[in-house]
Structure 1
């Protein structure tokens, strides 16, 4: 069998496999959170209890933000691991950076087993 025929059969089977995967996985809630940033954001976003400190509540009131805005900032943000405390036992503290209306936003989040507490919200 010629090499071109082998490549053709391979690409044909590969494309059929991709179509089958797309068909079977289309209705499922699957995600590809393999990187450390994506896993951390996903873990924080899926917490049942999200708490806000008093300083965060006052900053939200000053900048006219609500919990939906904070959720979007978390989901689209980047974790700064060099400024985060990832070695702590129990609750780890993460610094999430994002932009809102051309301003830099920094969220400090304490991530525990069952809850995530937003400790500070700084807009520069």
Structure 2
């Protein structure tokens, strides 16, 4: 029993150190499909179609807001997306996750994320 107690104390202290070290380095764990797609999308160069640019103007939004807020905090609708399409999977993103206000259609290619349309929902 004494050995188990020492093991648990040491293990707990080790986990706390690891947590603080990884947290300072900005490491993140993206295990879920939605998180992986969002993280990969944010590493790509954003390109907007003519239709997307016009829709942004009509909604009084800009590309920085799309990248920093909508894409970063959105939720991928995998039922409506074509995630297996080659070479560029197509996704439908809803923002915010609960009671969405915007729906974006885009494809994620090797170097770029190409945005096709943004629609106001409701």
Which bracket does the TM-score occupy, shorter chain normalised?
0.7 to 0.9
RMSD: 1.8
Q: How far apart are residue 27 of structure 1 and its match?
A: 3.1
2:101 alignment partner, SS class:
strand
Give structure 1 stretches of 5+ with no counterpart: none
Counterpart of 2:80?
83
Counterpart of 2:109?
112
How far apart in 1 are the matches of 2:83 and 2:19? 36
Q: How many residues align?
A: 119
Give structure 2 stretches of 5+ with no counterpart: none
How far apart in 1 are the matches of 2:23 and 2:42? 22
Counterpart of 1:56?
52
Residue-by-residue CA offset, 1:91-114 (whole Å, 9 max, x unaligned): 110000113xx7621000111000
Counterpart of 1:68?
64
1:41 aligns with 2:5: no
Please give the TM-score of this superposition, normalised by the length of structure 2. 0.87
Q: Is contact 2:94–2:100 with CA below 8 Å preserved after alignment? A: no
Please give the TM-score of this superposition, normalised by the length of structure 1. 0.86
Residue-by-residue CA offset, 1:3-57 (whole Å, 9 max, x unaligned): xx3443233112211122134324323110111000000010111x210011111
How far apart in 1 are the matches of 2:3 and 2:52? 61
| Aligned partner of 2:90 among 89, 93, 98 | 93
